[in-house]
Amino acid sequence: MHDVDYDQRSALHLAVCECREEAVKYLLNNHFCNKDATDRWNRTALADAEWHSNERGENYDSVKLLLNNYKNGTRKKNKSENFRGKSAAEIIHAAKTGDINTLRRLRKEGVDMDLSNSAGRTALHAAAQNGIEKVVKFLIDECAVSPFVRWVQKRPIDYIPNNGNAVNNGIRTKLGKYMEDLLNAELIPEEKPDKQTQIVRLLNCASRGNIKRMRAFKEADYDMTLCDYDYRTALHIAVSDNQEHIVDFLLGECKLHMDAQTKVDRWNDTPLTIAREPGNEDIYKVFLKHCPQLVDTENDEYRTYELLTAGAKGDIKLLERLYKKNVNMNLRDYDGRTALHLAAAENRSEAVKFLLSEAKVESSIPDRENRRPYDETTNDDIKNLLKNNTENINTVYKEPSNSRETVFKVIDAASIGQLHKLQDRFLYFSMDSCDYLKNTPLHVAAAKAKLKDVQYLLEEKKVSPFVRNSFWKTPMQLVEEKIEYWKTKEAMDKKFEVQKRSSRNTSRQQDFQEVKKVLETAIFESQQETVEADDNFGKHVSDEAKIFMFLNKAYRGDLKAIKRFLVTDKTLLEKCNYDKRTALHLAVAEGHKELVTFIMKKLDDDKINKTDRWGITPEHEALRNGREDMINLFKKTEKQSELTLSSSNIHSLPNNENIINDVPFST
C-alpha cells in the first residue's frame, strides 16, 4: 500500500486528486500512506488538493480537511508493506557487496531486478560504481536489466571509476556494448495485451529507457499515445527521465509530433513544455531534430529580415533564392512572425502557395500573440490553402545552419571560460545570439562566474547587459541569484565547520561579486547620454533593413546600441516595421524598463502610443504584461494616455479578446 510509481506518486496522491473521500479516509485511518510524502515535483497530497481547487475551481474542502486533521501515526506492520522499496534496497545492497547468491534468490522469487530506490539508483548502478564485475555480468546476461536508468542524471556506465583499473575497464566495455546492442537489437514479437497492461508496460519501459521492449511494443501494435491516471504518456515520462533515445524513437519512428505539443497531463504540461525546462537541453535538441517548427529566431538577423520582407512583398524570386540556399524558411522575427504570417497578412497568394507547396513551411506556428497565418488573411483562397495545410506532413528535418551550430560551440566555450581565448575563431559571429532558451553567451559566462569572458563580451564585443532569456532573467539577475546562493552556503559551511576543499584564494561568492562589478559598469555606461556613432550600422542596406535591425536591438534591450544607432539616424524611434511595430512596442513587450524610459523621453507625447497592425499601442503592451513599474511610466506622460481601452481597439484584436487577458509571448 506504500508503493509509488515512476513519478513517485502514491495511492494517496491519486485518491486526493480524484477527490475520493472514502479512499483517502481508508488510507489515512489505516496509516497506509504518509501524507507528507512527495512525488517527482515535491508535491504532497495536500498540495495536489490545493492545486486542483485553485486551478480548476473544484471543491476539495472535504479531502483537505481530512489531510489537515490527520497526524502521521504508527504504521501497520505487515509483510507486504512497501514491498517495492524494501526489495529495491535489498537488491542494491546485494549488488554493492557482490552477494550474487542473494541476487539469484530474489530473482527466483520474482523480484523485478530493474527496481530502483526513490532516488533512481538500481542494482546495476551499485555494481558498476563499486566495480563488482560478476554482478554486472549477472544483471546483464541473466536478468537483461536496463542500462539506461538514470540516478542523479547519470546512467550506470557514467559511475564506473575512470582510474585505469582493468576490472573497471572491462565493465565499461561490457556495458557500452550492451547499450549499443540494445539500441540496434532485433525485434522480439509480443502479443498485444489489454489496454491497462499496455499503459503499465509502456510507461515503465519509457522511464527505464528500455528501447528494445519499446520497439517490440510498437511492432505488437500497442497504442503509443496511451496515458495513465495523471494523463501522462510514455513521451511525458521519457522526457522527464532524460531518456533521449526513447524520445528520439517516439518522435521519429512513432511520429508523435502533435502529441508532443498537444497532450497535456494533469498539470497542463506537454512533453514539449517539460523539454524546455532547465536541465533538459539534450532532450530539447531531439525535439528540434524532429519538430523543425520549434526552431526559434535564427541568429542571422539580415537573412531573417530578407525572408520576412520577401513574404510581406510577395517577392517570389527572393523566396526561391533563399530556399535554394537552404535557408530555414520558418525563421521568426522578434515577435515570432514568419514569412507565411506576412504573406497571409498582405494577401500575397502566390507567396503563400510557394511557401506551402515548395518550401513546405509550417502553417500553424503562432506569433507573440498566438496568431496563426490563417488568422491574418482576408483572402478566401488563402484561407482555403492554409486550412488544407494546418499540418504539413511533408515537413522534414534540415541540418542546423552553420550559425546555429556555432551558437552551441560559443555557449559551450563561455560555460568553461574559454571564449575570450577563441576570439579569432569566432571573429565575425554575433555574440548576442542565443540558444533555444534565449540564453546568450553573456548569460552563460555570468552564471558561471567566468570573469574574463564577461569582460570580453561586454568590452570588446559590445553585447547588451539588459538582454533577457526565456525566463525573463538578465545576466545581472542570474549573478545576484548566485551571490545569494553562495552567501548562504558559505555561511552554513562556516556554521557547521565544513572544511574548505579548494585551495583557491577567493570564494565563489567573491568570484560572482567581481562579475557583478563588471556588469554594473556596463549598465552604468549604457545609461550615459554621450555615445559614439556606430559607423557600421546600416551600411549597404535599405532603410527597411535598418529598421529591422534597430527593432532587433530594442527586443534585446540593448540601450547602448540603440543610442549609437540614433546618432546615425535620429528618426528611427518614430519608424515602424512591416507590422507597424516600433522600437517602443518591442521594448515594452520584453520588459526593458531602462530602454522604455529612454525612448519615452525622446518622443513627443503624441508619438508614444502609435498603433500597430492590430491596433495595439505600447501602452496596451504594458497593461497586458501587468508590470506596475512599466504602466506607471505611461501614467507620467504629460498627456494622459488611454489607460482604458477603447471598444474599437478591443474589437480589432483577434477573436475579440481583451488584450489585458492575453498571455505574453515567450520562446
Domains contained in the chain, CATH given? 11-69 (1.25.40), 83-183 (1.25.40.20), 195-290 (1.25.40.20), 301-387 (1.25.40.20), 402-526 (1.25.40.20), 543-661 (1.25.40.20)
pLDDT digits (tens, 9 = 90+) for 462-499: 888 988 888 888 999 999 999 999 888 888 877 777 66
Report yes or no: 218 and 254 within 8 Å, Cβ to Cβ. Answer: yes
Coil, strand or helix: which one is 545?
helix
Q: What mean pLDDT do residues 488-516 have?
A: 78
Q: Is the pLDDT of residue 640 over 60?
A: no
User: Is residue 80 predicted with pLDDT exceeding 50?
Assistant: no
Q: What is the pLDDT of residues 201-238, one digit of tens each?
A: 999 999 999 998 899 999 999 999 999 999 999 999 99
Residue 67 C-alpha from the chain's centroid: 34
Q: Which amino acid is at 652?
A: S
Among the listed residues 348, 349, 347, 329, the one whose alpha carbon sits nearest the alpha carbon of residue 339:
329
Burial call 218-238: b when 16+ CB within 10 Å, e when fewer: bebebebebbbebebbbbbbb
- Whether the pLDDT of residue 348 is over 90: the answer is yes
Confidence class for position 511, pLDDT limits 50, 70, 90: very high
Give the list of residues 6+ apart from residue 310 with CB closer than 8 angstroms, or none. Answer: 318, 319, 322, 339, 351
Instruction: Say which DSSP state 591 is in.
Output: T
**Whole-number Å distance between alpha carbons of 475 and 455:** 13
Q: Which amino acid is at 237?
A: I
Q: What is residue 379's DSSP assignment?
A: -
The 3-class SS string of 557-580 reads CCHHHHHHHHHHCHHHHHCCCCCC
> 174: which DSSP letter?
H
Task: Classify 212 as helix, strand or coil.
Answer: helix
Q: Which residue has the cell 563499486?
A: 130
Among 123, 127, 103, 125, CA closest to 115: 123
How far apart, in whole angstroms, are the C-alpha atoms of residue 586 and residue 596?
9
C-alpha cell at 165: 583499473
Contact 2, 12 (CB under 8 A): no
The mean-pLDDT minimum among 69-83, 86-100, 277-291, 514-528 falls in 69-83
Residue pair 324/301 in contact by the 8 Å Cβ criterion: no
Residues 6+ apart with CB under 8 A from 377: 344, 345, 347, 352, 383, 386
Q: Which residues pair with 151 in a beta bridge?
A: 154
What is the distance in angstroms between the CA of the first residue and the CA of the last residue of the chain?
Answer: 42
pLDDT surpasses 70 at 74? no
What's the CA gap between 404 and 200, in Å, rounded? 39
Find cell 555561511 and name the residue: 491
Rounded Cα gap, residues 280 and 278, in angstroms: 6
Ranges 252-256, 455-459, 482-486, 649-653: which has the least confidence = 649-653
Sign of the C-alpha dihedral computed for residues 638, 639, 644 and 645 taken in this order: negative
> Of 4-18, 161-175, 372-386, 632-646, where does mean pLDDT reach its minimum?
632-646
Helix, coil or strand: residue 151: strand
The three three-digit cell numbers of residue 335, written as one number? 515577435
Q: What is the pLDDT of residue 664?
A: 35
Confidence check: pLDDT of 650 > 50: no
Model confidence band, residue 190 (pLDDT cutoffs 50, 70, 90)? confident
> Using CA atoms, how far apart are residues 446 and 457, in angstroms rounded to an integer?
10
- Answer whether residue 289 shows pLDDT above 60: yes
Q: Are 432 and 396 in contact (CB under 8 A)?
A: no
Please report the DSSP string for 454-520 in residue order: HHIIIIIS---SS---TTS--HHHHHHHHHHHHHHHHHHHHHTTPPP----SS-HHHHHHHHHHHHH
User: d(Cα 650, Cα 646) in Å, to the nearest integer?
Assistant: 6
- In angstroms, the CA 332 to CA 665 distance is 13
* Dihedral of alpha carbons 652, 655, 661, 666, sign: negative
H/E segment holding residue 193: none
pLDDT band at 535 (very low <50, low <70, confident <90, very high): low
What is the reported pTM?
A: 0.47
Nearest to residue 346, comparing CAs of 292, 382, 320?
382
Mean pLDDT of 97-124: 89
For 372-382, letters b (16+ CB in 10 Å) and e give bbbbbbebeeb
**Cα separation, 666 vs 644, whole angstroms:** 26
Question: From residue 67, how far is each of 32, 45, 70, 122, 190 by CA, in Å?
Answer: 13, 8, 5, 33, 44
Is the pLDDT reported for residue 71 higher than 80?
A: no
**What pLDDT, on the 0 to 100 scale, is given for residue 427?**
64
